[in-house]
A and B are shown apart, each in its own frame.
Chain A
């Protein structure tokens, strides 16, 4: 026990001695949480659009006004020259061109189809989809009100008979569809994971590279004592960072904490061990920090991108969804979101926790086994 105590003291001294490390450990995660949470959103803000209004009628002006009043669209360019509008889109100045042909109003009021054209810059497919759905809802509203007016003027029994099915949407857990609420728990997971994998893993390979591992090997320190000495400090730091992050999420971002905080902390403790063991394993497989770093980074990028943080796991093809079963980040992100946002309890998350615990103990055993107290 005394050995571990001294080892821990040495590790903590070593960490806190490095002045450059302190801000990285404690300030950087907070800044990242703040910046990234606001950055990670698909919500559509004002879209600049170009207008080609060949009709210049009452109706076309009303339509344009509706677009501008919606708060989603901003008129950037008004022109009669289609190629000018096209150039503006090529240059990236407008994201949509609204083209109203002549006789637009006449067609509508005489009961014919009134065509109009929406040209959308679809380089970013999901934004294009949003632009389309917002503009069609504006057009649908206008259409309905215009048709109603027409009906009053020239009542047609057929139109009144039209059947309608009302769709009443209800969004649970996040009624305002606020993206930050969804992202913050996930980003917290990523920040904690980085401390887990990168720092604790790099630690051992660093001793190798500098050569101090030999000094440690000739001491009577047991393997497990050495591992505890390496893992525990960053476990403590990771948990501490998580607590700061959670506090920020609760009081800064007003994220609802529906579930129990204890559950989160227990799972986080297990999760950190999984990632630290992964880091350890990487560092027993490599010889230089550069190698270790690079492999760790590679694995992390894949874990994060496949973890359901940015794009939903449900959208992946089945084989990719199966791959996520081996991804600890995917589990913890899911658990965080379920517990914090939906108030899920032990019953709903237990299998994921078992999976995490299995991964953790497996990885830890392998890496302790691989660490030899001899130099080859």
Chain B
């Protein structure tokens, strides 16, 4: 036991001595949260649009003013003809051109009907969709105003929409749990896998193996410092999220930390597993990168909803630990769920963890070659 304590202390020293990496380790969650909190969002603000007004009368002027007044748009160009649209779009800054047909006002008065064409640059379909629906909303409101003077249309369906759990639809509420998962994967899995393969690559593994330490001692000693680091990072993110970004936290902190530690163990187990398979740091790193980070970002529902994926990928996503962790954390933070509601996800996560721990213990070779 004494030699084990010594080994653990050596590992801690080795990591905490490297100030550069430590700075990054602690600075990273902060920078990422700030970037995510302020910069990365799906809402559209100040989209640059162009106007092609073939009519130039009072009605179109009012509508243009309404578009300009909205915080979603910024009118960047006034066009004279259709031919200019192509060039503008190609430059890439203008996302939408609103076209008013000629004699707009006359048509509206005479036929009660006029056309507006909304041309979007749909290379980004999501953005195109959003700007288009914002514009239509502004136009619809205007039409309502026009008609209200005549006291029309009281009757009709009147849907009342209530957004549960996240009434302001803030992206940061959604991203924080995902961010915790990504950072934990990064620290726990990547760093462990590299630090173990490093011993192999530098030839120190022989020394460790002939020492009286048992293989599981070596693994635990390697993993422990990163466990501590990860927990500190979870706390940092949580504090920032609560107090800087006012992300709600409805559930129990105890439950949250228990689940977080379970996920850290999963990530550590993955790291150990990768290191038992890889022979040098470069391989370990590329495998963790391609096999862990990208799936954690893309297949877990962090940014893109799992429900939107094709069925085969949804099946694949079941094998991604981060997916289950995300469901758990979102439920705890935003919905205030009790353990009863998330025991299934927890059980799956625990299962994955045990599977990888068992696999890596089996794979961890006591002999070289």
Contact = CB atoms under 8 A, between A and B. Distances in A.
Given A167-B139, A170-B119, A174-B125, A117 B160 contact: yes
Given A35-B316, A162-B147, A290 B281 contact: yes
Interface in B89-121: 89-92, 95, 108, 112-121
B162 interface: yes
B161 A147 contact: no
B35 interface: yes
A172 interface: yes
Given A139-B159, A147-B156, A165 B169 contact: no
A169 B120 contact: yes
A311 B44 CA distance: 10
B125 to A, nearest CB: 4
Given A163-B147, A165-B115, A167-B116, A125 B42 contact: yes
B47 interface: yes
Nearest to B74: A314
Contacts of A139: 157, 159
Interface string A145-182: 01100100000001101111111111111110111011
A302 B32 contact: yes
Contact of B42 (A38, A126, A288): A126
B195 A116 contact: no
B353 interface: no
A173 B127 CA distance: 13
Interface stretch (B20-28, B206-214, B257-265): B20-28
A316 B157 contact: no
B56 to A, nearest CB: 16
Interface residues of B, number: 119
Contact of B123 (A35, A45, A182): A182
Given A199-B282, A312-B44, A125 B150 contact: no
Contacts of A45: 307-308
B162 A293 contact: no
A317 interface: yes
A159 to B, nearest CB: 6
A316 B114 contact: no
Contact of A173 (B123, B136, B143, B151): B123
Given A118-B161, A172-B89, 12 more contacts: A24-B287, A40-B303, A124-B305, A132-B161, A133-B133, A163-B147, A167-B136, A293-B194, A297-B190, A302-B31, A310-B303, A342-B121
> Top 8 closest A-B pairs, CB basis?
A320-B39, A125-B169, A171-B122, A177-B125, A122-B163, A174-B122, A122-B166, A111-B155
28 contacts: A35-B316, A41-B304, A41-B309, A43-B308, A89-B164, A108-B157, A113-B158, A115-B159, A123-B173, A125-B42, A136-B161, A147-B156, A165-B108, A165-B115, A166-B116, A167-B118, A169-B118, A170-B118, A172-B120, A173-B89, A177-B128, A301-B293, A310-B304, A311-B41, A338-B90, A338-B92, A344-B90, A344-B92
